[in-house]
Amino acid sequence: MFANFRLSLTWLHTWFGLVLGFVLMVAFFFGSMSVFDREIDRWSLPETRIAAQPMPSFDHILAQRFAQMTEPEAEQRAAAEKRVTQPLPAQLTASNWNAYTTHRDPVLLTYVGFAVPHSTLPDDTIYAEQTIDPRDGHALHRDQLALGSGFFYPMHFSLHLEWHDIGYWIVGLSAMAMLAALVSGVVMHRKIFREFFTFRPERNPLRSTLDLHNLTGVVALPFHFLWALSGALIFVGIYFPVVGAMMQPVVEAHEHEEALHSGLDHDPSGKPGTLASVDAMVAVAKAHWAGKGMPGEVGFLSVNHVGNSNAYVSIYRDSTDRVASAEGLHFAGATGKVLFEDPPDGPVTTVNAFLVGMHLQQFRHWTLRWLIFIGGIVSCICIATGFIFFVEKRKTVHARQGRAGSRWVDALAVTTVTGMIAATLFVLVANRVLPESLADRDLWQKSAFWGAWLVLLLHAMWRSSALREARRSKAWAEQTWIIAALALAAPLLNALTTGDHLGKTLSAGYWPVAGVDLMLLLTAGIAFVTARRLQRSTTTDDLPVAQEPEHA
């Protein structure tokens, strides 16, 4: 089919890179945003702009909170009703209580699991969720949208396509394709070492775009590779649920075996029991960690088989100083005695835990957090320059032959590069402009994002008609101007609506909000310079392609 191996890989790199590159652009851009998800949450939820809090007292705050959470989420209950053989009782009993926080969270996520009786699924559980203020236990408003962890982060791995989890499949497939694109890219690149440091912005657009594509691809190759790989690994469990379903008897036997070994019962006893002081168990756990030379706070706490005589409490350390998350300590609920400590991981689990931990980044290491953010942006530049190279290489021939291929690729490239950044900034602006009392405020914000993105897609398609004469689409410059305006408007609106202007947040050292504001202003500055250069070169139309704007 192809004259040689290199040509066939070039074909693979070009077409897989193009088709799945649009998905990868979304995954990497929103992945980079998710590195600072908790900080974006603080920016978008002014009522939570307080310092990070440790896990609150269970006996004084959490126990009351959990006792009030008696109803699973309505949509989860509705879904469960379709998979039971007998009607669900009106009142389900809580089977587990859970609280989760990290060193960057001022608010606490609490959730209660309810076992679904007579379900066709094994261990079927539905949940009630509530975010609370850990200082006094009061519940936060429910239709608030945490833009970072509640919108950008799910976008990163699911594209918000929930139908049959198709978003997960698309993103996962793209991660695999990215591994193939990296390998084929390395094979295609003839001068990988000789041109390691080469970027020639003064050369023609085709050459300088390829230089930037190669540079960002090669120097960050370990980053691209490890993140695509670990991302794919995280979802292996979601991609292949069939293993769990087919092997269910084996899995259950294994779970019972493990329960026997650890003393943590797999099933509730059915006999009523009381819960000893969980705060005392937390104190024992903290002393245990300190004794091992790794003092720390509680990250995850759960009570299993709630109300039963064999209830047990699992306490996990907030793993701030390690890449992989820490092992748990399990206590008998009735007596508070230590039942079991998770053993250190075996080699395979250790590698897996390292890759997953690296990708999820719950550790406390601001240098590494910033470096990973920069890595994500470098990946975005690599993908974006790939699109631009595709168009630059073909546009003259396509224009002469009257073909529209490069035109539509250019329109989609504008939409996924400048359009996506502008829509992201638009949702920040919407977050500050929409009145606090608006019903379904979360839905309005999501609609603002999708609406803005759709409008920018139409704009890009309209402007791409310039490609018919092999000229550059004006959409690049115009959408970059939109980015500059929105990135400037967002911090101004934040100051106007909340009073938390930079002078205040910087002098108070409240970095989550100050950092987001500063990055927005930096984005506005870079977009302004880029837009001016793009506009100049679009009018003269023979100057080199300008750089991609940085994203915040």
Partner 1 sequence: MPDTVWTIAALLSAELGMAWLAQAMDVHWRQVRGDAPRPVSRALRPLGYAALIAALVLCLLANTATMAVLVWMMLLAVSAVSVAFVLSWRPRLLAWTWP
Binding residues for partner 1 (CB under 8 A)? 194, 196-201, 215-216, 219-220, 222-223, 226, 321-324, 354, 358, 363, 365, 367-368, 371-372, 374-375, 378
Degrees, nearest 5: CA angle 77-81-82: 125
Q: Whole-angstrom Cα distance, residue 185 to residue 76? A: 44
- Judged by beta carbon, residue 100 or residue 223, the one nearer partner 1 is 223
CA of 205: how far to CAs of 330, 473, 480, 538, in Å?
A: 61, 14, 19, 12
Shortest CB 375 distance to partner 1, Å: 6
Shortest CB 372 distance to partner 1, Å: 7
**441 with 145: CB under 8 angstroms?**
yes
Shortest CB 367 distance to partner 1, Å: 6
Backbone angles phi, psi at 227, to 5 degrees: -75, -40
Shortest CB 376 distance to partner 1, Å: 11
- Judged by beta carbon, residue 163 or residue 197, the one nearer partner 1 is 197
Helix ranges (H only) for 464-510 are 475-498, 502-508
**480 with 418: CB under 8 angstroms?**
yes
Shortest CB 199 distance to partner 1, Å: 5
**167 with 159: CB under 8 angstroms?**
yes
CA of 209: how far to CAs of 16, 46, 260, 475, in Å?
A: 19, 41, 61, 18
- Judged by beta carbon, residue 382 or residue 486, the one nearer partner 1 is 382
Shortest CB 194 distance to partner 1, Å: 7
**172 with 241: CB under 8 angstroms?**
no
- Judged by beta carbon, residue 18 or residue 543, the one nearer partner 1 is 543
**520 with 487: CB under 8 angstroms?**
yes
What's the length of the chain?
552
- Judged by beta carbon, residue 113 or residue 375, the one nearer partner 1 is 375
**338 with 331: CB under 8 angstroms?**
yes
Least Cα distance to 474 among 484, 459, 485 occurs for 459
**361 with 306: CB under 8 angstroms?**
no
- Judged by beta carbon, residue 152 or residue 363, the one nearer partner 1 is 363
Shortest CB 205 distance to partner 1, Å: 15
The helix or strand, by DSSP H or E, that contains position 330, with its residue range, turns out to be strand 328-332
- Judged by beta carbon, residue 109 or residue 226, the one nearer partner 1 is 226
Degrees, nearest 5: CA angle 105-109-451: 85
Shortest CB 228 distance to partner 1, Å: 15
- Judged by beta carbon, residue 194 or residue 292, the one nearer partner 1 is 194
Phi-psi region at 165: left, alpha or beta (left = phi > 0; alpha = psi -120 to 50): left
- Judged by beta carbon, residue 323 or residue 414, the one nearer partner 1 is 323
Shortest CB 281 distance to partner 1, Å: 27
